[in-house]
């Protein structure tokens, strides 16, 4: 007798591995972004001033602060991200989304949306997709600032 919660967790982990495999390749070859790069930029997209601190981004992405530093470096050199200091707190180094970055993540989002539709193309009703999104939203709701 297997617990339902355990079953749900295992399937969620397996499903993520499947989706990452499906999305990663095209996202990288077409837009030059990794999946985590895209999530980072989408968080910036919906941030108040198109900017977030690095620790804030780390919490939202569930990665270490050092990873954020390393992730933003190449994107900054490509002109997709910028750096901004805080007037009050000299420790903060905000990551900002540039106009170039907005265009790139906009295009990448279209790719993600198209491939997302493909995932549910067969044997899925609109109400079921919505139910899944809703239930997953309750999991991520415990985290700082849900995405989308």
Partner DNA sequence: CCGATATCTTTCCGAACGCAAGCATTTAGC
Partner DNA sequence: GCTAAATGCTTGCGTTCGGAAAGATATCGG
Binding site for DNA (CB under 7 A): 25, 34, 36, 53-56, 62-72, 74, 83, 88-94
Name the residue nearer to a copy of itself (CB basis): 38 or 82.
Answer: 38
In angstroms, the CA 125 to CA 117 distance is: 12
**Contact string (CB under 8 A) for a copy of itself, positions 15-54, x = contact:** xxxxxxx-x-----------x---x--x------------
What are the backbone dihedrals phi and psi of residue 104, each rounded to the nearest 5 degrees, phi first? -65, -45
How many of the other CB atoms lie within 10 Å of CB of 19? 14
Residue 8 interacting partner from DNA, a copy of itself, none (CB closer than 5 to 8 Å by kind): a copy of itself
- Give the residue among 119, 147, 111 at the shortest CA–CA distance from 32: 111
In angstroms, the CA 41 to CA 99 distance is: 12
CB of 66 to a copy of itself, least distance (A): 15
In angstroms, the CA 102 to CA 100 distance is: 5
CB under 8 A: which stretch of 65-73, 79-87, 99-107, 124-132 binds a copy of itself?
A: 124-132
Residue 91 interacting partner from a copy of itself, DNA, none (CB closer than 5 to 8 Å by kind): DNA
Binding status of residue 74 toward a copy of itself by CB under 8 A: no
Structure tokens at 26: 């095209």
């Amino acid at each position: 007798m297997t617990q339902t919660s355990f079953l749900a967790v295992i399937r969620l982990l397996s499903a993520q591995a499947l989706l990452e495999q499906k999305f990663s390749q095209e996202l990288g070859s077409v837009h030059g972004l990794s999946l985590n790069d895209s999530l980072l930029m989408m968080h910036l997209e919906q941030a108040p001033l198109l900017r977030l601190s690095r620790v804030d981004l780390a919490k939202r992405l569930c990665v270490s602060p050092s990873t954020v530093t390393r992730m933003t470096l190449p994107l900054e050199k490509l002109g997709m991200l910028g750096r901004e200091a805080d007037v009050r707190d000299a420790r903060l180094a905000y990551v900002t989304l540039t106009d170039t970055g907005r265009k790139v993540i906009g295009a990448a989002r279209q790719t993600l949306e198209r491939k997302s539709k493909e995932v549910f193309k067969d044997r899925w009703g609109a109400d079921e997709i919505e139910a899944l999104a809703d239930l997953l939203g309750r999991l991520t709701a415990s985290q700082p600032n849900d995405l989308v």
